[in-house]
Amino acid sequence: MLQSGAAGGRGCALCPLLGVLFFQGVYIVLSLEIKADAHVRGYVGENIKLKCTFKSTSSISDKLTIDWTYRPPSSSRTESIFHYQSFQYPTTVGTFRNRISWVGDVYNGDASISIINPTIKDNGTFSCAVKNPPDVYHNIPGTELTVTERGFGMMLSSVALLSILVFIPSAVVGVLLLVRMGRKSAGLKKRNKSGSKKSSIEVSADADQEKDDCMAKLCVRCAECLDSDYEETY
């Protein structure tokens, strides 16, 4: 439903949520809806994706256009940094020259771009505008970008966490081995001092060793006998 009057426009707090635009005293039902992240944080030198999606009541055609603009902080001046109409046309002038990459897909309602090698000077507000005639009325969402240096503290904490994950298990294993070796050493010293008898396991191990030695001697003796018989034959 359309309604005229500026007063009505000022009183419609739910219009953006209902997909309604108040333009020149008239409510216009939006046929094209655009969404973008309100805030995006990135780091110097690491590519940043500015996401923008749209929904249109009309089929995608070669008349569809996408325009991205940039406004520096505390400034009303805007500059065009990207244009799309069947092909991608990133800006060839200004601070964003050769630093805007198309990562969207219009047939899936994606109008996203990426900033290559961002710097702190790129901080500001980025706006995404889409038109798909006859759908031309739409909201224009803005994305506030904040680019910062990766702090030394964050890098240090990552290194410390990795060191802890590697060091603690190694330390635990080392302590357990030392404790086990200490117990064995204390047990041997105690048995040597007290002259106590060997345990049944140790006695069994010694008996098995003696059997193995006897078997080895017997095999050697048999081999010698065979050799002597062989020599007597010839």
Using the structure block, give the residue that is written with the tokens 């105690």: 190
Q: Which residue has the tokens 């092909």?
A: 87
Report the SS3 class of residue 44.
Answer: coil
Query: Is this model's pTM higher than 0.85 or not?
Result: no
CA distance 54 to 131: 10
The structural domains of the chain, with segments of one domain joined by +, span 30-152
The β-bridge partners of 70 are 79, 126
Residues of the chain short of pLDDT 50, as ranges, are 1-10, 14, 16-19, 21, 23, 26-27, 153, 156, 202-203, 226, 229-234
pLDDT the model gives residue 210: 56
Q: Look at residue 197 in the predicted model and tell me its pLDDT.
A: 52
CATH topology of domain 30-152: Immunoglobulin-like (2.60.40)
82-124 pLDDT, tens digit each:
999 999 999 999 999 999 999 999 999 999 999 999 999 999 9
Find tokens 């109409």 and name the residue: 85
In what helix (H) or strand (E) does residue 71 lie, and over which residues does it extend?
A: strand 65-71
